[in-house]
Amino acid sequence: MIAGLLVAFGYTLALTTRKTLMENLDRDLQLRVERYRGELAGGPPMGQGQGQGPGFGMRLGPGAGRFAPRGQGPGQGMGPGPGPGPGPGPGGPGNFPWFRRPTFFNANGETPLEPDQPRIPVDPGAVASALRGGSGFTDVLLDEVPLRVFTAPTTLETGESGAVQVAAEVGDFSRFWAKQMETTAWFVPVALLVAGIGGLFLTNRALRPIQQVTTLAAEIGATDLGKRLPVQGTDELATMAGTFNAMLARLDRSLRETEATLERQRQFTADASHELRTPLARIKLTSSVALATATEPDDLRQALTTVDEAADAVSRLVQQLLTLARADAGQLAAGSCDAEAAVREALSAFQDARLQADLTPGVRAAISHDALARIVSNLVENALRYTPAHGSVHVRLASEAARVTLEVRDTGEGIAPEHLPHVTERFYRADAARSREDGGCGLGLAIVQALAEAAHGTLSVESQVGRGTTVRVVLPSAAT
């Protein structure tokens, strides 16, 4: 395509140049004829007052260097001897061919104005046409020399009609045009070669960063999203690399979150299965032993009591799992309640001398009554479980700056710093060796956090080993 464009451009340029040169030549020939016609009609001789030098005057003496037709004698022919040739005639410079000068031909094809040097028309047909009143340009060959001829009718002062004819060589124009075509012929492949080499260099240079980015992008797998593409400069490629890196960061973060969620689900399923297996095993074992060996009512009663306790444990665990599932699905009921009444109701289930309460009356919280009672029950149960008999558990309810604060502080054994960030994780126990009868199932604080966050509240835990733990729940207050 580029080669075709270059060839078309070169050919068009050559044709345009040739056309322009020919038009200039035609105007020059016309100007010569018009001046000569004016001279014949009685104007000043050519070369006097017409902008031409003396070489164009008509009334020059014989031997002015004109070429005569073939076969003329010495000094009058195209050559220096009796035959034709390009030699000069006598008395002239010999470098101005006669056909370049306008020549008058009468109706007989003679040159009456120059009887000493008779000539024949360069283009007799054009002269005949001019004698009939026509004028125009023709192209002829004279001794293998291409000529451009202009012929026009004219009239002498005596009233005699005739034709004026002038010609000029066009060989230089043809050679110039041929040289242009030759130049185009070798310029096109050279230009294509240079353009190809330059284009290949520029293309490789431009595509090298893209190739590097493509190679690095291909090396990044689903399990290796931590890699990043190099960002150099501020061009479009750098922008693309930066955008790609941002996308990788989002994918990496999303993948990590997904993996963490799946891991939590797997752990949750495993822990829930383990927690359910213990009470179910107790139920199965007790019932099987009772059916096989128990015959006395007291033995049967003891077996039924054990089964009932295990069933309660299963029921509590299932209820806790259901609460967490609803929290994950965003299905926990919203509402508001009398915070003091809900706290007192929850505390009434615990008959323990270590328990102390400091409740501000008239406080309303933006949480349902059952949810707040569940929070209090879980926090107090945990606090009593890990507080020795001589310790204390203090429950405080207060309203501060449109927020309701529930605080449960104990003087128990406390939580080690390394376990503190994980106490709200599901089924997490700070002491793995602790029995489930003492340590519960590890869902208490997870449920508290889920209920608090569902009500747009917060949960915080502070603890020191050997000095106790303080759990603080902050909830939005409700309008009274």
pLDDT value for 58: 36
Buried-state track 326-348, b at ≥16 Cβ within 10 A, e below 16: ebeeeebeeebbbbbbbbbbbbe
| CATH number of the 236-326 domain | 1.10.287.130
Q: What is the DSSP letter of 468?
A: E
What pLDDT sits at residue 339? 92
DSSP state of 408: E
The pair of structure tokens assigned to 232 is 């150099």
pTM of this prediction? Answer: 0.44
The residues spanned by each domain of the chain are 64-96, 236-326, 332-476
What six digits make up the tokens of 346? 């929850």
Compute the Cα dihedral for 192, 196, 198, 203 and give only its sign.
Answer: positive
pLDDT of residue 260: 79
Task: State how far the Cα of 75 lies from the Cα of 87, in Å rounded to an integer.
Answer: 8
pLDDT at site 340:
92
Regarding the domain delimited by 332-476, which CATH topology (the fold level of the hierarchy) does it fall under?
Heat Shock Protein 90 (3.30.565)
The region that residue 461 occupies, defined by phi over 0 for left and psi between -120 and 50 for alpha, beta otherwise, is beta
Helix (H), strand (E) counts: the chain: 9, 11
State whether residue 29 is helix, strand or coil: helix
Rg of the chain taking only CA atoms, in angstroms: 59
Give the whole-angstrom CA distance, residue 268 versus residue 325. 11
- Please report where in the chains the tokens 């993996």 appear, as a residue: 259
CB 54 within 8 A of CB 47: yes
Instruction: For residue 192, report the phi and psi dihedrals to the nearest 5 degrees.
Output: -65, -40
Going by the DSSP 8-state scheme, the letter that residue 351 receives in this structure is: -
> DSSP string covering 37-103, please?
HHHHTT-PPTTSSSS--GGG-S-PPS-SSPPPPTT--TTTSSSSSSS--SPPPTTS-S-S-GGGS-E
Digits of tens for pLDDT over the chain (480 positions)?
666 776 677 778 778 887 888 889 899 999 999 998 888 876 544 444 333 333 333 333 333 333 333 333 333 333 333 333 333 333 333 345 778 889 899 888 888 888 777 778 889 999 999 989 889 999 998 888 889 999 999 988 888 889 999 999 888 877 877 887 788 778 778 888 888 888 888 888 777 777 777 777 777 766 667 777 777 777 777 788 788 888 888 888 888 888 777 776 776 666 666 566 667 777 777 777 777 776 677 777 777 787 777 777 677 667 767 776 766 666 666 788 999 999 999 999 898 889 999 999 989 999 999 899 999 999 999 899 889 999 999 999 999 888 999 999 999 988 888 988 888 887 777 665 454 555 466 778 888 998 899 889 999 999 999 899 999 999 999 875
Give residue 391's pLDDT.
93
Maximal CA-CA distance, the chain: 171
- Please, which residues have CB within 8 angstroms of residue 136's CB and are 6 or more apart in sequence? 126, 129, 150, 151
Cα angle 464, 469, 340 (rounded to 5 degrees) comes to 160
How far apart are alpha carbons 470 and 344 in whole angstroms? 19
What distance in Å separates the CA atoms of residue 431 and residue 384, rounded to the nearest whole number?
Answer: 16
State the pLDDT at residue 2: 67
CA angle 56, 57, 62 (to 5 degrees): 105
Strand order in the sheet with 393-400: 355-359, 393-400, 403-410, 468-476, 458-464
